[in-house]
Amino acid sequence: MVFHAPAKVNLSLRILGKRADGFHDIETIMAPLSLSDTLDIELQEGSGVDFTCSDASLPCDGTNLVCRAVDAFARHTGRQFRTRVHLTKYIPHGAGLGGGSSDAATVLKALDLTLGTRLSICELESIAASLGSDIPFFIRSSPSLCRGRGEIVEPLGILPKANILLVKPPFPVPTAWAYQAYKNKTKTSETFSQWHGSIELMNDLEEPVFSKYLVLSVLKRWLLDQSGVRCAMMSGSGSTIFAILNEDVLDLEDRVLAYFGSSFLVRRCQLLGTPHTDHC
């Protein structure tokens, strides 16, 4: 069977403080996108995982979140099975778009469906939380307020849909480095309000990340200066900058590539604002 794993953007990201376990307490609003990876999943008799990926730069061993998700599901349910998974990557990695986390959550949901284990949303979110902070969000893939280290998911109501342009430069931003840089930041950049519906767009990680990766600050300001762009912000810890567009923008992709060069990855998609109906 083929399953789709959607990307996400952080419409807001506030860092509330450091936790005793080394993580940060955060409060973030995340929303899924129409951009997605695809996973071809086949179950067989036996045990273990046969994993392949269209992106040769990603590990295909037990360290990959897809393989870890299969192992975690097998341990939780006590079921024995062999899984063949081929992942076709469309979501860039190291981009702040949650591609790896979404792939892992999609595997959990796919196994629950194909094996008929009928786990609750809360059970699936608990397995997901054991694998990574933002993986529980992708169990419902619904606009949500996420708290704690990101694993406490509270679905929101309907958000305004929007056309989105994603622009990723030819480098990732390590998440752990971004949070450490936030700890040492000094306030230097200007701040101004941007809104999507009733949500104020803001990201506490922008300032420390921009202080090292200067092109991201340039990219955000350039996007805001373009006709047809309503607002622009970095997603998560970067490196993607996303722009929320007016309906009639036709050539912005060409403008980005002409100004910044063909090494920048540009994708147009939609923000999906409809809540998921399942509850714990």
Please tell me whether residue 101 adopts helix, strand or coil conformation.
helix
- Span 72-91, mean pLDDT? 96
What's the confidence (pLDDT) of residue 94?
A: 87
Of 8, 109, 168, 220, the active-site residue reads: 8
| Catalytic residue flag (residue 71) | no
Share of the chain above pLDDT 90, in %: 79
Query: Does 275 have pLDDT greater than 80?
Result: no
Measured from the Cβ of residue 272, the count of other Cβ atoms closer than 10 Å reads 19
What's the confidence (pLDDT) of residue 186?
A: 61
SS3 readout for 188-214: CCCCCCCEECCEECEECCHHHHHHHCH
Q: What are phi and psi of 58, to 5 degrees?
A: -95, 145
Share of the chain above pLDDT 70, in %: 95
For the chain, the average pLDDT equals 92
Query: Does 164 have pLDDT greater than 90?
Result: yes
Query: Does 34 have pLDDT greater than 80?
Result: yes
Of 37, 112, 134, 204, the active-site residue reads: 134
Q: So what's the architecture of 162-271 in CATH?
A: 2-Layer Sandwich (3.30)
Please give the angle made by the CA atoms of 51, 7 and 114, to the nearest 5 degrees: 45
Instruction: Please state the domain extents for the chain.
Output: 2-155, 162-271
| CA–centroid distance for 23 within its chain | 18
DSSP 3-state percent helix, strand, coil across the chain (nearest 5) = 30, 30, 40
Indicate the CATH number for domain 2-155.
3.30.230.10
| Catalytic residue flag (residue 134) | yes
* Residue partners of 50: CB distance under 8 A and separation at least 6: 82, 83, 84, 85
Query: Does 72 have pLDDT greater than 90?
Result: yes
Nearest to 139 by CA among 148, 152, 147, 149: 152
